[in-house]
Amino acid sequence: MTSFDPLLLDVWREVSRHTALDESLARMMSLLVERLPLGELMIRAIDAAGGFLETTVVESARGGRPAPLGDAKTVVAASDLERLLEWGRLGEPAMGDDRAFRKRFPGLAPEKATGHLLAAPLNAAEGEPAVLILAADPPRVFEPRHEALVRALIDPLTVAVENDNRLRELVMLREAVEAENRSLRSRLDRNDISGSIIGAETGLKEVMEQIDMVSLSDAPVLILGETGSGKEVVARAIHTRSRRSTGPFLRVNCGAIPSELVDSELFGHERGSFTGAVGERKGWFERADGGTLFLDECGELPPAAQVRLLRILQDGQFERVGGEKARHVDVRIIAATHRDLQAMTVDGRFRQDLWYRLAVFPIHLPPLRERLSDISALAAHFAIRAAGRLGVPQLLPTADDVGLLVQYSWPGNVRELAAVIERAAILGSGTGLDVARALGLPARGLAQSSAPPKLDAASPVSDGPLPTLDQAAARHIELALSQCGGRIEGPAGAAARLGVNPHTLRSRMRKLGVDWNKFRASLVPTPSRGL
């Protein structure tokens, strides 16, 4: 065999293409069976500290799914293990009948490997050493020329093992970081001021009563509300008030998971179950065992995942992707969506039986525009948080700032309010909150030019027909808005000048078709291009 052997070049090519060891070996099998009487190929890692060998990958020349690992772990006596390690350091293949092979190297080959065997050490520079074991397809046997071929394959296969070791380490580090992030996020949620629910005694009073009722049980909860209205805050409140408060609280954004990975993310997978599955992985349900799993945007789940979720809700059991063992978890499900799930059940996009299981206790979260009384407290809360994040003095919104905020419709709800307050803190440059400019972005649809019309209440009436009462009332309100610069609430607002409640004035304006935005333009400066 020379360095120009086409087989060797093809093997190196497969090693360079695939990081996962099982993928590399699966592609190599079709190449090796043309030159070797191969029935089965396996890689066994040598754990010197633990005193055992463990089969990590098995590939069969017969194709199909990888053969089961069977007796994956073999405990080896200390003296035999030292002999194996010494043989490995020499780097020379060994060949023979399985009985003679086991007598020479006890524990090297698993009991399921029978017939004629050929083994070669793979001394990876990183991680535990490993060994390649080839089992001939009976009644065929290996010959010396086959041993020479395997000797040439030691280098590329060792690189394949090193790549797999690095990949495993990265997976372990990623899961450790995820666990640390979840722990840190949980501690922050307990200690940060965002842990309290603002509006619990006002706009969210009814919601808080529902939270207190349902927290005492393990019934599934479905939180319905617009995007940004605080569904996760409600879910966390239910968890912290429940008997599961000491367990994990995990949030999964169902809409952010690719459809082909939903099953793997939610339910986990077994090693080798699909391309890239280099090891077994716990899904979100297993990680949340004993706690609460928050399925945000559950309306985005594909049909197949809806079926498996229904089974968990029914009996608490599921199977990992590629697995056959039924697993049981004790998880409380809280789901949330901004979609109309009932309408989705009608057109078949969401399972009706799953809807009934999730909506055992639905909670409707009102949008911010329906709880304007909470805006002042929310704005103060976000201002304090923004000051800490930006490193500027704490500056609370003024009465005029709050007046501007309550007049906005808030399509993005509480999340948008948080962004506006942080933007106002940045625009204020540490001297105040520039709420007017923060609300004056073009994306908000506010007027950017044209001063409000100047109206004169004392101007004489023309000889034309008299305006209707509604037209006169609209003109009077427009005059007040013009004189107040578009401000409705506060001592200097139009409501105070007209002697009515601000909510009554807004209702009257909607009825009369008074466009408040054109009067607000004189109060809101034109924002810079950079915002």
DSSP 470: H
- Length, in residues, of the chain: 531
- The arithmetic mean of pLDDT across residues 167-191, rounded, is 65
Percent of the chain with pLDDT over 70: 85
Q: Pick the range with the lowest mean pLDDT from 95-99, 199-203, 484-488.
A: 484-488
Q: How far apart are CA 523 and CA 521, in angstroms?
A: 5
Instruction: Give me the pLDDT at residue 442, please.
Output: 40
With a cut of 90, say whether residue 523 has pLDDT above it.
Answer: no
- Picking from 358-367, 386-395, 511-520, which range would have the lowest pLDDT averaged per residue? 511-520
The mean predicted confidence, pLDDT, of the chain is: 81
Rounded distance between C-alpha atoms, residue 418 and residue 437, angstroms: 15
Confidence label for 209 from pLDDT (cuts 50, 70 and 90): very high
Domain 369-439 is found in CATH 3.30.457.10: no
Mean pLDDT to the nearest integer, 106-127: 84
Which pair of tokens denotes residue 142? 């290996």
Alpha helices, H only, 407-516: 413-427, 435-439, 469-483, 494-498, 502-512
475-502 pLDDT, tens digit per residue, is 888 888 887 777 887 777 788 788 777 7
* pLDDT at residue number 450: 34
Our CA angle for 367, 369, 374, nearest 5°, is: 90
361 exposure class (CB count in 10 Å sphere: 0-12, 13-18, 19+): middle
Residues 132-148 have pLDDT tens digits of 999 998 889 999 899 88
Residue 22 has pLDDT above 60, yes or no: yes
Residue 444 pLDDT > 50, yes or no?
no
The confidence band for 179, taking pLDDT boundaries of 50, 70 and 90, is low
The reply to whether CATH 3.30.450.40 applies to domain 6-167 is yes
Q: Within a 13 Å sphere around the CA of 408, how many CA atoms are in the beta-carbon half?
A: 27
283: pLDDT confidence band, cut at 50, 70 and 90?
confident
Quote the pLDDT of residue 458: 42
Widest Cα–Cα separation across the chain: 121
In tens, the pLDDT along 407-440 reads 888 999 999 999 999 999 998 887 889 999 898 8
For residue 278, pLDDT over 70 is answered with no
Segment 386-395 mean pLDDT: 84
Characterize the bridge pairing of strands 327-328 and 317-318: antiparallel
- Look at residue 62 and tell me whether its pLDDT is greater than 50: yes
| Distance (Å, whole) CA 215 – CA 239 | 7
Angle in degrees, 0-180, between the axes of helices 375-390 and 399-406, rounded to the nearest 10? 110
Number of alpha carbons in the 13 Å side-chain half-sphere of residue 262? 19
CA distances from 504 to 126, 302, 519 (A): 74, 46, 18
H/E element, 96 = strand 94-97
pLDDT at position 226: 92
**DSSP states along 297-351:** TGGG--HHHHHHHHHHHHHSEE--BT--S-EE---EEEEEESS-HHHHHHTTSS-
pLDDT for the residue 521:
46
Q: How confident is the model at residue 336 (pLDDT cuts 50, 70, 90)?
A: very high
The DSSP 8-state label assigned to residue 80 in this structure reads H
Q: Which CATH number describes the domain made up of 220-365?
A: 3.40.50.300
Task: Let me know: does 290 contact 316? Beta carbons within 8 Å.
Answer: no
As a whole number, mean pLDDT of residues 85-91 equals: 86
Whose tokens are 């909510």? That residue is 503
DSSP secondary structure letter of residue 281: B
Q: How many CB atoms lie within 10 A of CB 70?
A: 12
Q: Which of 171-180, 281-290, 512-521 has the highest mean pLDDT?
A: 281-290
For the chain, the structural domain boundaries read: 6-167, 220-365, 369-439, 451-531
| 291: nearest Cα among 254, 337, 336, 236 | 236
Look at residue 451 and tell me whether its pLDDT is greater than 70: no
- Give the model's pLDDT for residue 497: 80
Both tokens of 81, joined, read 């293990």
User: How would residue 250 be classed by pLDDT, with cut points 50, 70 and 90?
Assistant: very high
118, containing H or E segment: strand 116-122
d(CA 456, CA 521): 19
At 460 the pLDDT is 44
Residue 236: predicted pLDDT? 92
**What is the reported pLDDT for 295?**
94
| pLDDT for res 4 | 61
